[in-house]
């Protein structure tokens, strides 16, 4: 696991570090991370929680050479009934609406490996905060209908805006580099028992699979923050 930042002393460092394994096209990741952010704010912990994104592919068998819509993908790849898929999407949209988030039910779908490689390249060059910001912004754009993670040039442009060298971004997206780093993060999650995403790790101690309800996030954050304050006081 990547160690927590050491540039800050204990009095100014965030109380909680949350590592989250996520995929850009994962609807429950979008919901779970939204609930986490709401819980952080509700607990008065804004600025005290350091979130770090890690790679996990929701469906590594998705095609790399074609893009379908998400409904057709689930019907064909998972054998799901189209009506059930649309019903599920409508339910998730309602959850998002209740949190004040947008959620478009019709989205493109393809393989996300290229995005993960670019995130890894950005993290290597500029740190995990830059990589996390890039990834989360792209994920939010995907679910609000303002970004397409399968438009290679758009993804590369976003990475360049975040500070990554253009050729480094192109090489990563094309699969010339950083594939092993994606694999390493997927294996790390699996070693902790992750079978899907989102998957959360709090302060390198406590794991939580899935998009927990906001109240569950609040309780976890409260307990972990109290524990961290006690440890600092005793140090």
pLDDT, tens digit, 9 for 90 and up, residues 183-193: 999 999 999 99
Q: Examine residue 5 and state whether it is found in any structural domain, yes or no.
A: no
Check residue 65 and give its pLDDT.
Answer: 87
Q: Examine residue 122 and state whether it is found in any structural domain, yes or no.
A: yes
Nearest CA to 199 among 19, 16, 2? 19
**Residue-level length of the chain:** 235
Compute, in degrees rounded to 10, the torsion defined by CA atoms 23, 128, 221, 225: 170
Check residue 235 and give its pLDDT.
Answer: 85
Check residue 171 and give its pLDDT.
Answer: 98
Check residue 102 and give its pLDDT.
Answer: 98
Q: Examine residue 193 and state whether it is found in any structural domain, yes or no.
A: yes
- Residue 1 is encoded by which pair of tokens? 């696991």
CA distance 68 to 110: 7
Q: Examine residue 6 and state whether it is found in any structural domain, yes or no.
A: no
CA distance 214 to 228: 21
- Residue 72 is encoded by which pair of tokens? 């057709």
Q: Examine residue 230 and state whether it is found in any structural domain, yes or no.
A: yes
Low-confidence ranges of the chain (pLDDT < 50): 2-8
Q: Examine residue 115 and state whether it is found in any structural domain, yes or no.
A: yes
CA distance 181 to 227: 32
Q: Examine residue 73 and state whether it is found in any structural domain, yes or no.
A: yes
Cβ contact 117:175 at 8 Å = yes
> Domains in the chain: how many in total?
1
CATH code (residue 59): 3.40.30.10
Check residue 7 and give its pLDDT.
Answer: 42
Check residue 1 and give its pLDDT.
Answer: 55
Question: What range does the domain containing 35 cover?
Answer: 16-234
CA distance 210 to 40: 17
- Residue 6 is encoded by which pair of tokens? 């050491």
Q: Examine residue 66 and state whether it is found in any structural domain, yes or no.
A: yes
| 207: exposed, middle or buried (Cβ count in 10 Å: 0-12, 13-18, 19+) | middle
Check residue 4 and give its pLDDT.
Answer: 42
């Amino acid at each position: 696991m990547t160690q927590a930042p050491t540039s800050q002393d204990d009095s100014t460092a965030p109380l909680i570090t949350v590592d989250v394994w996520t995929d850009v096209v994962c609807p429950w990741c979008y919901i779970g991370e939204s609930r986490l952010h709401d819980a952080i704010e509700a607990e008065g912990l804004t600025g005290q929680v350091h979130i770090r994104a890690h790679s996990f592919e929701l469906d590594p068998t998705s095609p790399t050479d074609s893009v379908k819509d998400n409904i057709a993908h689930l019907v064909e790849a998972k054998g799901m009934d189209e009506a059930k898929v649309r019903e599920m999407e409508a339910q998730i949209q309602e959850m998002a609406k209740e949190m004040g988030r947008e959620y478009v039910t019709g989205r493109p779908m393809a393989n996300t490996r290229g995005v993960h490689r670019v995130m890894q390249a950005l993290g290597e060059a500029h740190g995990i905060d830059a990589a996390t910001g890039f990834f989360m912004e792209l994920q939010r754009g995907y679910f609000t209908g303002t970004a397409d993670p399968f438009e290679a040039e758009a993804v590369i442009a976003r990475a360049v805006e975040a500070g990554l060298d253009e050729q480094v971004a192109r090489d990563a997206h094309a699969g010339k580099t950083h594939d092993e780093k994606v694999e390493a993060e997927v294996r790390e999650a699996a070693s902790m028992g992750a079978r899907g995403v989102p998957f959360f790790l709090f302060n390198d101690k406590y794991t939580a699979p899935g998009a927990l309800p906001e109240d569950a996030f609040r309780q976890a954050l409260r307990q972990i923050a109290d524990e961290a304050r006690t440890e600092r006081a005793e140090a």
